[in-house]
Amino acid sequence: MSYRWRIERLIAWSLFTLAGCLPWPVANADADAMDTLQVHGFLSQAWLVSDDNDFFGPSSENDGSFQYTEIGLNVSLRPLRDVLVSAQVLSRRAGDDDASPRLDHGIVDYQAFSNARRRLGIQLGRFKNPFGFYNQTRDVAFTRPSILLPQSIYFERTRSLALAADGVSVYDEEYLADGTLRLQIGIGDPQAGDDLDETLGLGEQAGSFDGRTSYIGQILYEDGEGHWTAALSAADVTARYQDSAGPIGDGRFHFQPWILSWQYNQEHWSLTTEFALRRIALDDFTNPRLNDVSLGQSWYVQYTRRFADEWQWLLRYDSLANDRNDRDGSQYEADGLGPAYSRYARDVTTGLQWRIHPRVLLAAEWHNIEGTGWLPVADAEDTEKYWNLLLFQASFRF
């Protein structure tokens, strides 16, 4: 398969470059490599209840939905003292029935330089995309402030593209006088899942998307006092659609998001905000009707308050517009394409997290939502404009 071949060529090329340019990894003389083996994991199960609109399964039916489960197993090892090998298998069920385990990440990470002023390294394999504050560990409940991440930015519809890429990533961390600057740049093939076909209304078609060489980068600054963090993430993700024999023909899909992130921390509270512009383009399609460009806009503001050591309360406003030039969807509706409210979503969320044990987290949250802009397409039938969603989740990690 040409896809796999390209990856192999990319990895071989990177290894070759690496070998030539960087100091050689040094054997871990101090300890047996197996002493460094670590195994971690997590498991979470949610219960979703909504008054209208199904989210992750039949949430609006009598007993709600239990179709939101995340199970992960993580193994890491330091075979050489500056090399880390890490792999994670994830089984995730979010409404659909396909919860088969897949490789979430699989990385060989070589930290070539590490001194008092900087550290610099390279990752080969399937790496998690540094996309906003939460993308890299978006499926681990313990790293999320709420059960559902702000859906305007971390939504399901293009999840597979944003999640991880197969290729090479380089990171650099500079320790400056007033803080730390972190850079990461990655080149690789994204995983284009069925979510993309469905989002673009091509789920019924024979053709499918195939990830192509894509780019992602993030620059992040953390001030020396540890109070605030700011980041800018950008990506150019490409997928190729192949349906030579069918009515759609071949074409290309581009996802080009920019995300500006900012977080302020105090001992008992944090304020987080992210703003994203998402350019989505279809081009090169034989059928010219399909070629289209849209610019979506997403943002949220989130306040979290910690109290009594184990509790955290969250309040968030989250806003999504699928088309920046038609934020309320009125033009979309006037064109007879569908209801206006399917083009945006405004979500007021409040939630509680209780860490009853370092390994156990219980959470509950309530969303009051206008619009169905981020409702996964598989769930988006017979929708209502105004709806409420209540979630409960129990999580365990080791």
Residues in contact with another protein by CB under 8 A are 26, 28, 30-31, 36, 38, 40, 42, 72, 74, 76, 78, 81-82, 84, 86-88, 105-107, 109, 111, 114-116, 119, 123, 127-128, 136-137, 140, 142-143, 171, 173, 175-177, 179-180, 224-226, 265, 267, 306, 309, 358, 397
| Residues 2, 211: Cα–Cα separation, whole Å | 12
Considering the complex, what minimum distance in angstroms separates the CB of residue 209 from another protein? Answer: 25
DSSP E strands, the chain: 38-50, 68-80, 83-94, 102-114, 118-128, 164-175, 179-190, 208-223, 228-242, 251-265, 269-283, 292-307, 311-321, 344-357, 360-370, 386-397
Q: Which is nearer to another protein, 136 or 372 (CB)?
A: 136
Considering the complex, what minimum distance in angstroms separates the CB of residue 132 from another protein? Answer: 13
Q: Are 70 and 43 in contact (CB under 8 A)?
A: yes
Considering the complex, what minimum distance in angstroms separates the CB of residue 45 from another protein? Answer: 18
- Residue 291 burial (CB count, 10 A): 14
| Residues 120, 109: Cα–Cα separation, whole Å | 10
Q: Which is nearer to another protein, 50 or 160 (CB)?
A: 160
Q: Which is nearer to another protein, 100 or 115 (CB)?
A: 115
Q: Which is nearer to another protein, 105 or 316 (CB)?
A: 105
Q: Which is nearer to another protein, 182 or 327 (CB)?
A: 182
Spacing of C-alpha 131 from chain mean position: 7
Burial class (CB in 10 A: 0-12, 13-18, 19+), 62: exposed
From residue 288, alpha-carbon distances to 177, 196, 205, 210, 336 in Å are 54, 19, 17, 20, 20
| Residues 73, 93: Cα–Cα separation, whole Å | 15
| Residues 277, 373: Cα–Cα separation, whole Å | 15
| Residues 198, 53: Cα–Cα separation, whole Å | 18
Q: Which two tokens stand for residue 32?
A: 């047996």
Considering the complex, what minimum distance in angstroms separates the CB of residue 80 from another protein? Answer: 9
Interacting residues of 4 by C-beta distance below 8 A, sequence separation 6+: none
Q: Which is nearer to another protein, 128 or 343 (CB)?
A: 128
Considering the complex, what minimum distance in angstroms separates the CB of residue 125 from another protein? Answer: 8
Q: Which is nearer to another protein, 194 or 310 (CB)?
A: 310
From residue 93, alpha-carbon distances to 90, 96, 139, 355, 373 in Å are 10, 6, 11, 24, 21
Considering the complex, what minimum distance in angstroms separates the CB of residue 73 from another protein? Answer: 11
Considering the complex, what minimum distance in angstroms separates the CB of residue 362 from another protein? Answer: 16
Q: Which is nearer to another protein, 17 or 114 (CB)?
A: 114
Considering the complex, what minimum distance in angstroms separates the CB of residue 67 from another protein? Answer: 22
